[in-house]
Amino acid sequence: MHKVGIFKSIHVKFVLMYVMLIMIAMQIIGLYFAKELEQTMKTNFTTSIVERMNLVEFSVEEELTKNRSADDLSLEQSLTTVLSGFTSEDINEIMVVNPNRYILATSVFDNKESVGQRSTDDIVKRSLTSGTPFDMIYLDTDSRSRIWVRASPIKEGDEVIGTVYLEANIEKVFNQIEEINQILAGGAAVSLTITIIIGIFIAQTMTRPISDMRRQAQAMAKGNYSRKVHVYGNDEMGQLAIAFNHLTNQLQESHSTTESERRKLASVLENMTDGVIATDRKGRVSLINDAALAMLRMTRDVVLNRPISSILGLEQEYSFEELIQIKESLALDFSTEEEPYILRASFSVTQRETGFVNGLIVVMHDNTEQEKIDMERREFVSNVSHELRTPLTTMRSYLEALADGAWKNEEIAPSFLHVTQTETERMIRLVNDLLKLSRMDSRDYDLNREWVEFNTFFNSIIDRFEFSKSKDVQFLRFLSNKELFVEIDTDKMTQVIDNIISNALKYSPDGGNISFDVTLSNDVVTVMIADDGMGIPQANVKRIFDRFYRADRARSRAMGGTGLGLAIAREMVMAHEGEIWAESEEGKGTTIFFTLPFELQEDGEWG
């Protein structure tokens, strides 16, 4: 659990604030009390001294104004007697100074030599000059004590006839103030200590629920919703704890619901056959399912956090902002020379309620087969239209000629009718071949299988072609005398071999050879038919079994071919659970192979 620093703890902050407020209050009270105490004690001290000095001033005034006889004491002696009667522990010295600032008498016997000397104290001068009393406090450098001095003028009427100068030790007053302050400081320290202890207990009662809620919040952040905050009372903190526990329950339910929905969504995404990609608001991939990874042929670590336009190969055509605006699906062409590969992607924008774009959802599916089917369909329609248009155009031309009177010409009319008949038969063959393919595509046919010795069956077909061939072509047979019994539909297999041999004869030159071979390996009978014709370019070898494909279109059409023979052968071989393929080298001939399943029974009989 994360620990809070000591000075960041609300418990410590609460105690410190509480103590600081108490200290500020005590400081203000202490300063005010100390100031008032000092002023009061100084006032009491000076008042008591002044009251005594009033008597001194009265006595001194009498001595200074009375008429002296020869028997009377001198003025100095009289003043000394008066002053000595008012000495005390508080008063250090009392002097009488005449208007000319000469000292007439002093209360301190040791300072007798100062009598008759001129006083240099400024306070004496100001008192004599202004006729008003003056006082001040100064620090005696010798005794390190504070001394209170006062000069009070003596008047006879309005005339100043002298002044009384007083020095009193006021240090005792300040010592008393310091002792009182020390007592106050000690009491404040004891009070502050008690206050801190009480503050700690009070802070604990306030911060304990908050600490519990902090620990609960940290546990909730880690996914633990089982903890509950203890309710210590029914005050505001207790009500807050109850509300926090209620919030915990609500969050636990919401988290459970969210987690359940997340698992459902994850299960749906993982089991979707379509690829799904989600991005953040900057167009970087944040989520992708396995189907999308398989379609893109990438790994998750390569895809995540990369721009979606780069992943889809659209960075040259579209930016992320442009992809957001796309309403229709896009075709993604990842085809290579070896194989076509086309994906189709649909885009959907995710937005907040404010309309702010939150990201992009891309749904992809493999559209290769559909594109291939569409392309083949378009090509098929085009080829059928072309194949039908050629004989129909020819027939229309000859029929128009006949209609214009050519039928009366006994020399050309039979020729025109013969061409019309030939083109009609050609269209019939084309339609019949198309019907065969249609039935085979829809599986609307039955194989009438029977056991046949294949070498004998194959030889009979070769014999028929060898007997009726019109070219000087040599048939080379490499068939064994071993009996190979296979279960086939003889009519359909005859069509397969007829179509292959017919193509070999069409493209074989005079003097060429056509080879035939049958081999047995791995429970499969392999049939080979090869010619010495013009061959097929390597790039087009796999296309010769496509519908309407011709290696030499002009020659095939002239010979009455429809371009469907090998396509029909492939469908029939596949219906027999076999395979068919071709090998060819341009200029040297073409070889067609097809296989038929073969099974030898345990008792040694063919099966």
Kindly report, residue by residue over 84-111, the tens digit of the pLDDT: 777 777 788 888 888 888 888 888 777 7
Do 454 and 586 lie in a common domain? yes
Last residue of a domain, one of 441, 466, 489: 441
- pLDDT < 70 positions in the chain: 1-11, 67-73, 376, 379-384, 386-388, 390, 429-430, 433-434, 436-445, 470, 547-563, 600-607
Q: Are 18 and 202 in contact (CB under 8 A)?
A: yes
| Same-domain pairing of 317 and 379 | no
User: Within this chain, do residues 56 and 114 fall inside the same structural domain, yes or no?
Assistant: yes
Report how many domains make up the chain: 4
Helices H / strands E in the chain, number of each: 15, 17
Asked if the structure places residue 52 within a domain, the reply is: yes
- Using alpha carbons, select from 146, 167, 154, 80 the residue that is nearest to residue 116: 80
Does residue 426 share a domain with residue 316?
no
Question: Looking at residue 292, which CATH number applies to its domain?
Answer: 3.30.450.20
Cβ atoms 552, 561 nearer than 8 A: no
- 237 located within any domain: no
The tens digit of pLDDT for each residue in 473-517 reads 889 998 888 888 999 988 888 888 988 888 888 888 888 889 999
Q: Which amino acid is at 112?
A: K
pLDDT for 606 equals 46
CA-based nearest residue to 597, from 480, 479, 517, 486: 486
Look at residue 558 in the predicted model and tell me its pLDDT: 45
Indicate if 22 and 164 belong to the same structural domain: yes
**Residue in the block written with tokens 């296309």:** 543
Q: Is residue 193 classed as helix, strand or coil in its secondary structure?
A: helix
Of 177, 212, 232, the residue at which a domain comes to its end is: 177
Q: Provide the whole-model pTM.
A: 0.42
Torsion over CA: 579, 584, 588, 590 (sign): positive
The SS3 call for residue 389 is helix
pLDDT score of 557:
45
Q: Element (H or E) spanning 530, and its range?
A: strand 524-531
154 and 17 together in one domain: yes
Question: Parallel, antiparallel, or unpaired for β 580-585 and 513-521?
Answer: unpaired
**Is 280 inside any structural domain?**
yes
Residue 555: per-residue pLDDT: 45
State the pLDDT at residue 518: 92
Are residue 527 and residue 585 in the same domain, yes or no?
A: yes
210 domain-assigned:
no
Place of tokens 């320290």: 189
Q: What is the mean pLDDT of the chain?
A: 80
Is 411 in the same domain as 534?
no
- Is residue 415 located within the same domain as residue 550? no
Residues in the chain: 607
Question: CA 42, 48, 51: angle at the middle one, nearest 5?
Answer: 135
In a domain, 252, yes or no: no
**What tokens does 209 get?**
């629920």
Residue 330 vs residues 262, 282, 293, 323, 327: alpha-carbon distances, Å: 29, 21, 18, 10, 9
Whether residues 18 and 124 share a domain: the answer is yes
Sheet holding 285-288, edge to edge: 285-288, 275-279, 357-366, 342-351, 330-333
Range of the domain at 393: 372-441
Are 429 and 469 part of one and the same domain?
no
pLDDT score at 528? 93
State the pLDDT at residue 282: 87
What is the CATH number for 529? 3.30.565.10
Angle at 179 (CA atoms; ends 175, 184), nearest 5 degrees: 145
- Domain membership flag for residue 350: yes
Angle at the Cα of 151 from the Cα atoms of 149 and 157, rounded to 5 degrees:
165
Tell whether 251 is covered by a domain: no
Mention every residue, 6+ apart, whose C-beta is less than 8 A from residue 596: 454, 486, 488, 524, 525, 527, 573, 576, 578
Residue 540 makes CB contacts below 8 A (sequence gap 6+) with 549, 551
- Among residues 570, 576, 513, the alpha carbon closest in space to that of 543 is found at 570
In a domain, 258, yes or no: no
Give bridge partners of residue 348 from the DSSP assignment: 361
Name the domain boundary from 151, 177, 203.
177
Looking at the fold, whether 421 and 361 belong to one and the same domain comes out as no
